[in-house]
């Protein structure tokens, strides 16, 4: 009887599908878990990467001076992007590292006294007490994911800003020019050039789209030696253009961040002097407004004894009242200027054969009738020597700022010169006459023929610039 029941049980096939059903159920749960939980893991990793990128970039803005603020900024941005109520604390302050970035080795030197990069590591992990929970994969014993992302943001100055010509519109190059020593030419709206130019290996000619934004003669790729390997696609905005007026106004009140080393900051500017209490007899004035004297026979032009400017001073040229549009301050031919800052409310014209060394010139006038940035409110006659001809040794540089345009005549020599113009920059130079130059133009840059650009080793001395930031990891 018992054996009969055993045989019946062994021969009974009812419920056999249950076992297969359970196996298929577990398989389907596993597949669903892979679809849902793994997808959620990738989604959170994407969120963490975006948070790491934003936190590192925000923190890098505080470099190099305030490393404590940089770390606090990174933590604050991480909490803003991934709220703690849902994600827990994704960035521990210990996971913010600040140092000098080595692009070759992809490493961060945290001992550097002049840091340029921030590395952040954001986590949803057991280590931070906020590991990412799973749902369906619990059936196979997995309770949480550890998801980690990292980013490094670097503060840097693009190479084009150190020795280069950057235009928000076009760079227009005539013929018979040479470009050497890794100088850079960039036109955000394109580059136009004629034939018979030479580009040494290492020189970059960049624009956002090639060939659409490159205008050359039909034979231009052959007649412009070295051009094909020099071409690159790139976006680069001359951001200093947006700060020219700010820089000049801050120079008038002698803000430390814009003051060259050769200026005696124990003095104060005329603007600060007139705003101060006149009873303070101890207050020293850099220089009262320059006296304007009409130049007879040249109505509308004005002169000043520029030869007697005192080194280490900031000078503010104020327009004569009732001036007509087109009135200019004229710096006489042969004038030598050294270690001065001149900020003018009127256009300035420099006569022939002037020599400027350790000088800042800024003009805040764009014409009374509003011709705007196309108006050249700084101009130089032939034979000017801008900067000390010392192969870019420290000191001796020249900075020129204008909220309009600037124009240089032929046979001008540039040695460690920075030019920032809201409008156009027209360069005139003799052969071998450009030995270290940095130009940022809100309009276009025009180059004449028979010039050699970028001869000196090293970048422009005393470069004023704004910071640029990039993700390097």
Render pLDDT for 36-70 as a digit per residue (tens, 0 to 9): 778 888 899 999 999 999 999 999 998 877 888 99
What is the reported pLDDT for 281? Answer: 35
Query: Could you read off the pLDDT of 138-147 as tens digits, one per residue?
Result: 766 778 889 9
Whether the per-residue pLDDT at 299 is higher than 50: the answer is: no
Domain-embedded: residue 195? yes
Domain-embedded: residue 471? no
Higher pLDDT, 396 or 299: 396
Peptide bond into 67 cis (omega under 30): no
Query: Could you read off the pLDDT of 153-207 as tens digits, one per residue?
Result: 999 888 787 788 999 999 999 999 999 888 899 999 999 999 999 999 999 999 9
User: Looking at the 3D structure of the chain, how many domains does it have?
Assistant: 2
Residue the block writes with tokens 């000043």: 304
Whether the per-residue pLDDT at 273 is higher than 50: the answer is: no
What is the reported pLDDT for 472? Answer: 92
What is the reported pLDDT for 403? Answer: 92
Domain holding 427, by residue range, is: 159-466
Distance of CA 16 to the CA centre of its chain: 73
Domain-embedded: residue 213? yes
What is the reported pLDDT for 324? Answer: 46
What is the reported pLDDT for 272? Answer: 40
Verify that 168 and 120 share a domain, yes or no: no
Domain-embedded: residue 31? yes
Verify that 139 and 31 share a domain, yes or no: yes
Verify that 352 and 370 share a domain, yes or no: yes
Final residue of a structural domain among 156, 189, 208: 156
Verify that 168 and 152 share a domain, yes or no: no
Cβ-based burial of 261 (10 A; exposed 0-12, middle 13-18, buried ≥19): exposed
For residues 278-282, average pLDDT:
35
Higher pLDDT, 161 or 402: 402
Q: Does pTM surpass 0.75?
A: yes
User: 25: pLDDT confidence band, cut at 50, 70 and 90?
Assistant: low
- Rounded distance, CA 78 to CA 54, Å? 8
Final residue of a structural domain among 156, 187, 213: 156
Final residue of a structural domain among 132, 156, 180: 156
Verify that 29 and 142 share a domain, yes or no: yes
Verify that 142 and 164 share a domain, yes or no: no
Nearest to 399 by CA among 378, 381, 383: 378
Domain-embedded: residue 440? yes
What is the reported pLDDT for 282? Answer: 34
Whether the per-residue pLDDT at 18 is higher than 90: the answer is: no
Verify that 55 and 129 share a domain, yes or no: yes
Beta bridge partners of 470: 154
What is the reported pLDDT for 89? Answer: 94
Verify that 349 and 395 share a domain, yes or no: yes
Verify that 104 and 176 share a domain, yes or no: no
Higher pLDDT, 145 or 407: 407
Whether the per-residue pLDDT at 91 is higher than 60: the answer is: yes
Query: Could you read off the pLDDT of 253-267 as tens digits, one per residue?
Result: 778 888 888 887 765
Verify that 136 and 89 share a domain, yes or no: yes
Higher pLDDT, 434 or 333: 333
Whether the per-residue pLDDT at 10 is higher than 90: the answer is: no
Peptide bond into 292 cis (omega under 30): no
Determine contact, residues 440/240, Cβ cutoff 8 Å: yes
Domain-embedded: residue 472? no
Verify that 131 and 274 share a domain, yes or no: no
Whether the per-residue pLDDT at 291 is higher than 70: the answer is: no
Verify that 74 and 194 share a domain, yes or no: no
Whether the per-residue pLDDT at 9 is higher than 70: the answer is: no
Domain-embedded: residue 5? no
What is the reported pLDDT for 293? Answer: 36
For residues 275-301, average pLDDT:
37
Phi and psi for 355 in degrees, rounded to 5?
A: -130, 120
Least confident of 103-117, 287-301, 428-442: 287-301
Domain-embedded: residue 8? no
Residues 6+ apart with CB under 8 A from 140: 30, 33
User: 303: pLDDT confidence band, cut at 50, 70 and 90?
Assistant: low
- Mean pLDDT score across all residues of the chain: 82
User: 462: pLDDT confidence band, cut at 50, 70 and 90?
Assistant: confident
């Amino acid at each position: 009887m018992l054996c009969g029941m055993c045989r019946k049980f062994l021969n009974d096939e009812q419920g056999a599908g249950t076992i297969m059903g359970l196996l298929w159920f577990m398989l389907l749960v596993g597949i669903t878990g892979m679809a849902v939980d793994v997808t959620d893991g990738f989604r959170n990793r994407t969120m963490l990467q975006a948070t790491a990128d934003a936190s590192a970039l925000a923190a890098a803005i505080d470099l190099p001076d305030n490393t404590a603020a940089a770390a606090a900024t990174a933590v604050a941005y991480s909490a803003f992007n991934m709220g703690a109520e849902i994600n827990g604390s994704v960035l521990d302050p210990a996971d913010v590292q600040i140092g000098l970035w080595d692009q070759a080795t992809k490493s961060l030197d945290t001992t550097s006294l002049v840091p340029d990069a921030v590395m952040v590591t954001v986590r949803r992990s057991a280590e931070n007490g906020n590991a990412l929970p799973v749902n369906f994969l619990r059936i196979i014993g997995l309770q949480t994911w550890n998801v980690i992302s990292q980013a490094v943001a670097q503060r840097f100055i693009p190479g084009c800003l150190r020795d280069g010509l950057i235009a928000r519109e076009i760079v227009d190059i005539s013929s018979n020019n040479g470009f050497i020593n890794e100088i850079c030419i960039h036109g955000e709206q394109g580059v136009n050039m004629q034939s018979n130019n030479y580009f040494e290996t290492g020189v970059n000619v960049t624009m956002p789209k090639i060939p659409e934004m490159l205008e050359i003669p039909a034979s231009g790729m052959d007649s412009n030696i070295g051009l094909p390997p020099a071409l690159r696609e790139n976006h680069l905005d001359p951001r200093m253009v947006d700060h020219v007026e700010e820089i000049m106004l801050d120079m008038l009140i002698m803000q430390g961040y814009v003051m060259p080393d050769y200026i005696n900051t124990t003095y104060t500017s005329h603007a600060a002097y007139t705003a101060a209490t006149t009873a303070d007899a101890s207050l020293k004035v850099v220089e009262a407004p320059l006296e304007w004297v009409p130049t007879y026979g040249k109505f509308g032009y004005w002169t000043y004894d520029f030869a007697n400017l005192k080194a280490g001073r900031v000078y503010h040229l104020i327009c004569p009242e009732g001036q007509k549009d087109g009135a200019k301050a004229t710096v006489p031919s042969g004038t030598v200027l050294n270690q001065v800052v001149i900020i003018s409310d009127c256009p300035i014209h420099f006569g022939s054969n002037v020599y400027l060394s350790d000088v800042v010139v800024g003009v805040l006038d764009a014409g009374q009738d509003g011709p705007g940035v196309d108006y050249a409110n700084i101009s130089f006659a032939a034979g000017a020597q801008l900067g000390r001809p010392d192969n870019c040794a420290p000191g001796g540089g020249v900075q020129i700022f204008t909220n309009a345009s600037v124009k240089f005549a032929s046979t001008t020599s540039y040695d460690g010169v920075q030019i920032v113009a809201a409008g156009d920059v027209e360069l005139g130079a003799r052969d071998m006459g450009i030995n270290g130059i940095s130009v940022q133009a809100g309009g276009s840059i025009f180059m004449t023929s028979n010039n050699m650009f970028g001869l000196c080793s090293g970048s422009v001395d005393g470069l004023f610039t704004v910071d640029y930031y990039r993700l390097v990891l």
